[in-house]
Amino acid sequence: MNRIGLLSTLAFGLILFGLGMTNSGFLVLALPLVVFVLTGLLFGSPHPRITAERYLSARRVGVGLPVTVRITLTNQGDKLEQVWSSDTLPPDLEKLSGQTNCLVSLEPGESTSFEYTVKARRGTYFFPSLHATTSDYLGLVRRMIPLGASGSIAVLPDIRRIPTIPIRPQHTLGFPGTIPARIGGPGLTFFGVREYQVGDSMHQVNWHASARHPYTLYSNDFEQERVADIGLILDCRGESYLAMAQQSMFEYAVIAAASLAQSFLENGNRVGLVQYGQYISWTFPGYGKIQRERILAALAQANPGASLVDHFEYLPVRFFPPRSQIILVSPIQNKDLEVLFNFRARGYALMVVSPNPVSFELSTLPDRTSVRLAGRIAQIERIVLLRQLQQAGIRVLDWDITIPFEQAVLALTRGSARFNMGA
Amino acid sequence: MKLVRQIFSLSLALSLVSLTAAFLGKPGWVPILIGLSISIQWAFMVWNGRRTLSFSFLGLLALLVYGAAIYLPAGWLLGSLVMLLVAWDLSEFSEHLVRLDPGRVDSKLVHHHILRLFYVAGVGLVLGGLALVIKVRLGFGIAVLLGLSVFVGLAGAVRYLRRSL
């Protein structure tokens, strides 16, 4: 309850009683209360003017890196006897050191600041607008002033530098890149032999073929290398992921998606991202560093959630250009197979990067014979599932999350999928 | 922080002593025991950093009002009320300081607060003391006029309260 209101009510009540009962004792008791009320009215600042600034040492950081938040309050009006301000920390943000509030007196033009250091897990965190409460020293007349100065921090997913993954989609774009385009032209890889054309370099002439055909020269043709459209799909269905011992397997999927996006964008490809879970979030395809930022910002906010549909049936295929490369990051469930086969049937080059839920769960369980046996059975089931994908021409990276992602990707660069039999 | 709590405890004890002195012998020990239990509970809450929500203050004030209604010595009641106001203010100030992060308490601000509080309590005590000494006879008309002004003031206070909440 407002203090001056309470005191005023009590004071007037006592005076009223005193007059009504003709008892001077009540009037005497009312006097100290009246003095308090008058003091509040006398010293309470009528129009406090305060500005606030929020300084963040970084707006985008990696997981676990500290961010310093400093808030500076400046008094733009008359003297303020008491100013209270407190910053509300978003949930899941861990305070490492410093102060999140202050109680000070401010002379005209004087500034004060308080700062604290926080760290957080992956995500986007919004600091709400600040408020300050001004009052006299006794806190009798309090006024709350909105100060603005909201802010946000994006904690980006961990990105691993992975080797270039060789892919061969049927359709490539017009710009030169690193992906074999299945078209002859300038390049490095031998593609075929054709009749000599004016302008061909002498080094290109295939002398062996030319020797067998008198009066005709033949040149070596090389395979063009171009950039391609790559659609990343991140499975955000809550049911796909295990979460044990305050660790979620979804984090591994996000790391994989971020690392893949970075790798393909660095090679000049056009990359888009679809998050498929509670809702469908689409990051439109694009090139370069700006696109990298867009994708990382989207991944920073990614969260697994209860999906309206329990399989990939409603995945918006039309987002991806025909015959382009699609990379699905998902632990994969049995019911997903059919939809993935359909993708393949439509001509998409499909790759599945699958964080292994069995090895994840085993890493959190005690090392017992029964657990090891159960783990082996689960691994065999998973291998059978993934083999079905491979038989449909889908490349699979079964990522045992106990080894780093960059190391797991080496298996793909050698052209074979990796299967682990578990413990 | 400790200084604030110590002064709070001292003022609460003085208020209780004045209250006891006022009630001593007249209506029995019951009001004194009630005052004592409220004070102990209030002090316990303040020292443990819990919110008091002014209920203890209102409880002790009710005892003072009761004392005034049965014509107990107004001097003791006045002293008790002034000390009670000091204790109430410091208990709320202490709650405010508890919400601050450790190491952020500005000792200058605390001293200013306590100094202002002593000035206000002192003025209240002096004015109350003067009111005890000075005797004014009021006619019926003036009493009605004062009553009306109190009504207007009370209405204003309630309006202010509703606006600020």
Per-residue H/E/C for A195-234:
ECCCCCCHHHECHHHHHHCCCCCEEEEEEEEECCEEEEEE
- The CA distance from A381 to A384, in Å, is 5
Q: Looking at the complex, does the CB of residue A5 fall below 8 Å from at least one CB of chain B?
A: yes
Above 80 in pLDDT, residue A292?
yes
Return the residue in B19, B95, B120 with the most chain A beta carbons within 10 A, the one to mutate for interface testing.
B120
Give the CA diameter of chain A.
136
Q: Looking at the complex, does the CB of residue A97 fall below 8 Å from at least one CB of chain B?
A: no
The pLDDT, as a whole number, for residue A28 is 87
Residues of A in contact with B87 (CB under 8 A): none
SS3 call for A420: coil
- The CA distance from B2 to B47, in Å, is 9
Return the residue in A36, A110, A134 with the most chain B beta carbons within 10 A, the one to mutate for interface testing.
A36
Q: Looking at the complex, does the CB of residue B50 fall below 8 Å from at least one CB of chain A?
A: no
Residues of A in contact with B161 (CB under 8 A): 1-2, 5-6, 8-9
The pLDDT, as a whole number, for residue A214 is 83
User: What interface predicted TM-score (ipTM) does this complex get?
Assistant: 0.87
Above 90 in pLDDT, residue A136?
no
Highest mean pLDDT among A225-229, A346-350, B136-140: A346-350
State the pLDDT confidence band at B115, using cuts at 50, 70 and 90. very high
- The CA distance from A114 to A52, in Å, is 11
Return the residue in B51, B84, B133, B161 with the most chain A beta carbons within 10 A, the one to mutate for interface testing.
B161
Q: Looking at the complex, does the CB of residue B142 fall below 8 Å from at least one CB of chain A?
A: no
Q: Which of A315-319, A350-354, B12-16 has the lowest mean pLDDT?
A: A315-319
Residues of B in contact with A9 (CB under 8 A): 154, 157-158, 161
Q: Looking at the complex, does the CB of residue B60 fall below 8 Å from at least one CB of chain A?
A: no
Half-sphere exposure of A333 (CA within 13 A, CB side): 14
Above 90 in pLDDT, residue A335?
no
Q: Where are the domains of chain B?
A: 2-134, 136-165
Between residues 331 and 360 of chain A, which touch chain B (CB distance below 8 Å)?
A: none
Residues of B in contact with A14 (CB under 8 A): 65
Above 70 in pLDDT, residue A268?
yes
Q: Looking at the complex, does the CB of residue B74 fall below 8 Å from at least one CB of chain A?
A: yes
The share of chain A scoring above pLDDT 70, in percent, equals: 96
Question: Assign residue A346 a region: left if phi > 0, alpha if psi is -120 to 50, beta otherwise?
Answer: alpha
Q: Looking at the complex, does the CB of residue A83 fall below 8 Å from at least one CB of chain B?
A: no
The pLDDT, as a whole number, for residue A376 is 92
Q: Looking at the complex, does the CB of residue B78 fall below 8 Å from at least one CB of chain A?
A: yes
Q: Looking at the complex, does the CB of residue A136 fall below 8 Å from at least one CB of chain B?
A: yes
**Chain CA centroid to CA A16, Å:** 64
Cα-Cα-Cα-Cα dihedral sign, residues A251, A255, A256, A258: positive
pLDDT in tens, A235-256: 988 888 887 767 788 999 999 9
Q: Looking at the complex, does the CB of residue A84 fall below 8 Å from at least one CB of chain B?
A: yes
CA distance B122 to chain A (A): 9
The share of chain A scoring above pLDDT 90, in percent, equals: 23
- The CA distance from A325 to B7, in Å, is 75
pLDDT in tens, A70-95: 999 999 988 888 888 888 888 888 88
Mean pLDDT of chain A: 85
Q: Looking at the complex, does the CB of residue A252 fall below 8 Å from at least one CB of chain B?
A: no
The pLDDT, as a whole number, for residue A389 is 92
Above 90 in pLDDT, residue A273?
yes
Residues of B in contact with A98 (CB under 8 A): 101
The pLDDT, as a whole number, for residue A296 is 92
Higher pLDDT, B96 or A352: A352
B54, closest residue in chain A (CA to CA): A1
Please spell the DSSP secondary structure of A178-199, one letter per residue. EEEEEEEEEEEEEEEEEE--TT
Q: In sequence order, which residues have a C-beta less than 8 Å from that of residue B136 and are 6 or more positions away?
A: none
Q: Looking at the complex, does the CB of residue A282 fall below 8 Å from at least one CB of chain B?
A: no
Higher pLDDT, B82 or A179: B82
B88-112 burial, b if ≥16 CB within 10 A, otherwise e? bbbbbbbbbbeebeeebebeebbee
CA distance A126 to chain B (A): 22
The pLDDT, as a whole number, for residue A1 is 55
SS3 call for B68: helix
Judged by CB atoms closer than 8 Å, whether chains meet at A28 and B128 is answered as yes
Q: Which of A22-26, A180-184, A262-266, A365-369 has the lowest mean pLDDT?
A: A180-184
Judged by CB atoms closer than 8 Å, whether chains meet at B72 and A25 is answered as yes
The mean pLDDT value for A253-260 works out to: 94
- Give the count of beta carbons closer than 10 Å to the beta carbon of residue A13: 17
CA distance B37 to chain A (A): 22
Above 80 in pLDDT, residue A286?
yes
Q: Looking at the complex, does the CB of residue A6 fall below 8 Å from at least one CB of chain B?
A: yes
pLDDT in tens, B89-106: 999 888 888 877 666 677
Q: Looking at the complex, does the CB of residue B108 fall below 8 Å from at least one CB of chain A?
A: yes
The pLDDT, as a whole number, for residue A309 is 66
The pLDDT, as a whole number, for residue B11 is 92
The pLDDT, as a whole number, for residue A415 is 55
Q: In sequence order, which residues have a C-beta less than 8 Å from that of residue A47 and are 6 or more positions away?
A: A77, A78
Between residues 19 and 38 of chain A, which touch chain B (CB distance below 8 Å)?
A: 19-29, 31-33, 35-36
Give the CA diameter of chain B.
59
Q: Looking at the complex, does the CB of residue A15 fall below 8 Å from at least one CB of chain B?
A: yes
Are β-strands A151-156 and A60-62 bridged in parallel, bridged antiparallel, or unpaired? Answer: parallel
